[in-house]
Amino acid sequence: MSGDWNPESGGGLSRRRALTLGGAAAVTALSATGLPTNRGTEPASPAQDDPVQGLHAQGITGDGVRIGVLDTTGFATDAAFEDAVVGRRSFDGVPVVADGTTHGTAATTTVARAAPDADLLLASFERPAGFRRGLAWFHRTGVDVVLAPVAAYGASVVGRSVVTRTAAAAADAGVTVVAPTGNAARGHWTGTIEPAPGRRRLRLGGADGEGVDGRLLAWAGSPDDDPPELSLALVRTDRRDEGRRLTALSERGEQAGVERLDVTLAPGEYTVEIRLPDRLRDEATGSTVSLVTPTHRLRGGSPRGSIAAPASAPGVFAVGRLLDGRVAAYSGRGPTPDGRRGVDLVARPRRWPGATDPGTSGAAAYVAGVAALVAGVASESATDEPAASLRVTASRAGSPGPAAGYGALDAAAAVRQALPDD
């Protein structure tokens, strides 16, 4: 562990009431990335295909390494990894103990299978302030690798938040922070505001070609230093006898410049409109705006820049999903709002309890386990060793890009790269 870090420098954010049709519901600023809405044909890899088993046979098991898992769900106490747990903490209201196969339990199971002798510290949280406090606890207790399998989509559309600042500070202090790029590449749009008619319309699509219904979560905002005042409007368009009908309006998000929609949709056809007040149409012309929804597709959108926070933070190791030999269509992509490449590499998840395709969360969890194996064999004097070894041994190390980063993970090669010279 190296470097100093003041966890109180990030500040806190408040939670606001969400808008629904037919009732109120609370929505946190961060959430587990959940399952992808667009699946491929390749499931998570079976255990017998896992290259880390050969490393385990050589005695490389993560012994002496501490891994922290920070999730918005709790963790089961009867899971296979329980004997490795050396600490649990709950921050801002979410119980750290939960029944059943939660997202946090599944992520930790994946990490523990990859690094079976590593010590585990588990933390649950709900709001950005809890995320900051959880990372601070990990830092104080000497954690080497942090897995944060969450996505802060509100932060991702503006590029600045407590989440990104805190994650970047932890990475700068010497912690290897691993996070998924998110599953919203097919629900992302970035563009500029046009002077007339002062709005942008994007049609919603369902997951896997299905109809448009269910819960819609969407965020919009601008990374500009002086963000425009905008709003989101959900409009139903399939009732010809009624014309275009306004269904819901967004609410102000947890930070300046962010708008959020949280609506339960009846089956139908919908568009999301990004709107400007009449008085601001001319002066806001040319402002950059992003819209993202992890629950639906945006027809006319683009995956470019869809990487979620905290993966988008400087220094955080961002992991996308490799599916059928290529980057999964739903896997978040760079560049980041400040122009960095964003994605570090892509990986195939291993078995994930309760899901066929665990998406980018599953990929990140597996990479975090491999990072622990790298940390376990690396020299204590090595700096940035897990991240550096993972990047330099990936399949496209010589030509990194914003979609796949340095390419596909090579777990065995990364560990060999970190072994000290005899």
Tell me if 11 is assigned to some domain: no
Q: Distance between CA 21 and CA 265 in Å, rounded?
A: 8
Q: Distance between CA 369 and CA 109 in Å, rounded?
A: 10
Same-domain check for residues 95 and 140? yes
Same-domain check for residues 169 and 310? yes
Task: Give the residue from 278, 299, 320 where a domain finishes.
Answer: 299
Rg (CA), the chain: 21
Same-domain check for residues 328 and 213? no
Q: Which residues pair with 83 in a beta bridge?
A: none
Decide: 236 and 269 in contact? Cβ < 8 Å.
yes
What is the pLDDT at residue 288?
A: 84
Tell me if 10 is assigned to some domain: no
Q: Distance between CA 112 and CA 105 in Å, rounded?
A: 10
Same-domain check for residues 32 and 123? yes
Same-domain check for residues 335 and 387? yes
pLDDT per residue, tens digit, the chain (422 aa), is 445 555 544 333 222 222 222 222 223 345 555 445 433 334 555 555 788 999 999 999 999 999 999 999 999 988 889 999 999 999 987 899 998 889 999 999 999 999 999 999 999 999 999 999 999 999 999 999 999 999 998 888 887 889 999 999 999 999 999 999 999 999 999 988 765 555 677 777 765 555 688 999 999 988 887 777 889 999 998 766 666 889 999 998 777 779 999 999 999 899 999 887 766 656 656 778 899 999 999 988 999 999 999 999 999 999 999 999 999 999 999 999 889 999 999 999 987 777 667 899 999 999 999 999 999 999 775 556 799 999 999 999 989 999 999 999 999 999 999 998 76
Domain CATH code at residue 157: 3.40.50.200
Same-domain check for residues 137 and 108? yes
Same-domain check for residues 61 and 127? yes
Tell me if 5 is assigned to some domain: no
Same-domain check for residues 103 and 163? yes
Token pair 């386990």: residue: 369
* Whole-structure pTM value: 0.87
Same-domain check for residues 133 and 255? no
Same-domain check for residues 202 and 162? no
Tell me if 250 is assigned to some domain: yes
**Around 370, how many Cα atoms within 13 Å sit in the side-chain half-sphere?**
37
Tell me if 265 is assigned to some domain: yes
Decide: 139 and 170 in contact? Cβ < 8 Å.
yes
Strand duo 145-147 + 176-180: pairing: parallel
Task: Give the residue from 243, 274, 299 where a domain finishes.
Answer: 299
Same-domain check for residues 137 and 52? yes
Both tokens of 55, joined, read: 């490393």
Strand duo 317-323 + 326-327: pairing: antiparallel
Tell me if 98 is assigned to some domain: yes
Q: What is the DSSP letter of 2?
A: -
The total of structural domains in the chain comes to 2
Task: Give the residue from 299, 322, 345 where a domain finishes.
Answer: 299
Q: Distance between CA 124 and CA 109 in Å, rounded?
A: 16
Range of the domain at 228: 192-299
One-character DSSP codes across 119-171: EEEEEE-SSHHHHHHHHHHHHHTT-SEEE--EEBHHHHHHS-SHHHHHHHHHH
Both tokens of 6, joined, read: 């003041």
Strand duo 297-299 + 199-205: pairing: antiparallel
Tell me if 6 is assigned to some domain: no
What is the pLDDT at residue 29?
A: 43
Decide: 333 and 305 in contact? Cβ < 8 Å.
yes
